[in-house]
Amino acid sequence: MSASPSAVVGQPGGMNPAGWIALALLALGLLYIGQVIDATQAMLFAVGGALGVVLYHAAFGFTSAWRVFITDRRGAGLRAQMIMLAVAVVLFFPALGAGSVFGGEVSGFVAPIGVAVMVGSFMFGVGMQLGGGCASGTLFTAGGGNMRMVVTLIGFILGSVIATHHVDWWWDQPAFEAVSLVDSLGVTGGLALSLALFATIYFGTRVLERRRHGQLEQPRPSDNAGWTRFLRGPWPLIWGAVALAVLNFVTLVLAGRPWGITAAFALWGAKGFEMIGIDVAQWSYWQEAGNAQALQAGVLADTTSVMNFGIVLGALLAASLAGRFAPSLRIPFRPLMAAIIGGLLLGYGARLAFGCNIGAYFSGIASGSLHGWVWLVFGFLGNMAGVRLRPWFFGEEQRPRQPTSC
């Protein structure tokens, strides 16, 4: 990085123009949304901005974390996810059991377990490896200036809206009723089972990593410390894990439901289709009350959209603070094709599976939904398949040493 820590932290020239633009848009967006929508929506926009900063500075991705475990048995990223989930359920389960927080009603993401979830999460897993990111990873790396991930995001949006044309057929396929651990086992029982499963995965990855390499991989040292590291990064994965869990809980308190991402992509795609004359309002998905209302309203009235905008701007700000915002339009042909195909699979799979790595996996498990665990299993299997396909698109790539989004 060319800028010194003192330049970034202590002097106005520490951020490049993109960072100042991101900061200005975050401030203006906060004020504007507070005026035209309400204060709660404005706060959710700010939470989105904070999520973008956390995701970027902690390089907290799911795609590479799973890939390095599949290919090299390095499990630091998976262990960080288990810590994130453990903190989340400790925060979520008592609130969901009570049904309210600070006087406001809250509910989790609980969905049926069936063919749609299994097929959709598997497709999503393949898309993660081809597209180079998950839902959160696509947003924060696109915001950080990765132009290939902008292509993935476009494919993601297109796949999402296409899926809304078919999703009723998929959701009519065989499925079990939705199961909530909080409702079935109570808060204490649900916590005990969830924490035991997290611990099993956490310590299991340690055993497998030591068996392969003899010792656990150590985090890379940082040139920054204290407030400099907080502002510029990189953050330890544990910081990111705890911060994401806490911010998801803040989302639950403010929005009355957990953090999600991909429903907004379907909405953006639907609005785009309408602009070119495709009447998506006739599709049954968009005739459901909540979806129809979202389609008719402006995107700033949609909580998921507002948070996504915040994530992109927060990541852009973080990339500027880190001195790593340097977008390039040069994308080789095969990686470009991988981004398009991967994005389509990500979008289509997320709609089938009632969400993505955030809405179904993270927030689903945090909500006590068994469908989140099924998503994890089939999403991981999809990642295994995607890893096998990557060499055709990316050649003999070097295995990454540290988890990132892509």
What distances in angstroms separate CA 82 from CA 56, 275, 303, one per listed residue? Answer: 19, 42, 27
| Residues 48 and 307: beta-carbon distance below 8 Å | yes
Q: Which of 46, 55, 57 is nearest to 134 (CA)?
A: 55
Q: What CA–CA distance (Å, rounded) separates 297 from 37?
A: 11
Give the pLDDT score at 295. Answer: 96
| Residues 284 and 172: beta-carbon distance below 8 Å | no
Give the pLDDT score at 1. Answer: 33
Q: What CA–CA distance (Å, rounded) separates 112 from 354?
A: 9
Question: Three-state SS for 174?
Answer: coil
Q: What CA–CA distance (Å, rounded) separates 306 from 300?
A: 6
Give the pLDDT score at 403. Answer: 42
Give the pLDDT score at 142. Answer: 87
The token pair at 314 is: 């927060």
The token pair at 363 is: 């927030």
Residues in the chain: 406
Q: What CA–CA distance (Å, rounded) separates 139 from 180?
A: 29
Give the pLDDT score at 225. Answer: 73
Give the pLDDT score at 198. Answer: 98
| Residues 150 and 323: beta-carbon distance below 8 Å | no
Half-sphere exposure in the Cβ direction for 306 (13 Å, CA):
28
What distances in angstroms separate CA 186 from CA 94, 100, 192, 246, 324, one per listed residue? Answer: 9, 15, 10, 22, 46
In tens digits, the chain (406 residues) has pLDDT values of 333 333 333 333 467 888 899 999 999 999 999 999 999 999 999 999 999 999 999 988 899 999 999 999 999 999 999 999 999 999 999 999 999 999 999 999 999 999 999 999 999 999 999 999 888 888 888 888 889 999 999 999 999 999 999 999 999 999 999 999 999 999 999 999 999 999 999 999 999 999 999 999 888 777 777 778 888 778 999 999 999 999 999 999 999 999 999 999 999 999 999 999 999 999 999 999 899 999 999 999 999 999 999 999 999 999 998 888 778 788 899 999 999 999 999 999 999 999 999 999 999 999 999 999 999 999 999 999 999 999 999 885 544 444 444 4
Q: Which of 118, 201, 137 is nearest to 372 (CA)?
A: 118
3-state secondary structure 249-279: HHHHHHHCCCCCCHHHHHHHHHHHHHHCCCC
The token pair at 179 is: 């199961």
Return the residue matching tokens 């100042």. Answer: 20
Give the pLDDT score at 396. Answer: 56
Alpha helix positions (H), 276-332: 289-296, 303-321
Beta bridge partners of 104: 101
Give the pLDDT score at 13. Answer: 41
Give the pLDDT score at 269. Answer: 97
| Residues 270 and 295: beta-carbon distance below 8 Å | yes
| Residues 122 and 387: beta-carbon distance below 8 Å | no
Helix, strand, coil proportions of the chain in percent (round to 5)? 75, 0, 25
Q: What CA–CA distance (Å, rounded) separates 42 from 168?
A: 33
Backbone angles phi, psi at 100, to 5 degrees: -155, 155
| Residues 63 and 321: beta-carbon distance below 8 Å | no
What distances in angstroms separate CA 335 from CA 41, 66, 215, 401, one per listed residue? Answer: 37, 19, 34, 20
The domain limits of the chain are 16-214+239-394
| Residues 403 and 214: beta-carbon distance below 8 Å | no
What pTM, to 2 d.p., does this model score? Answer: 0.92
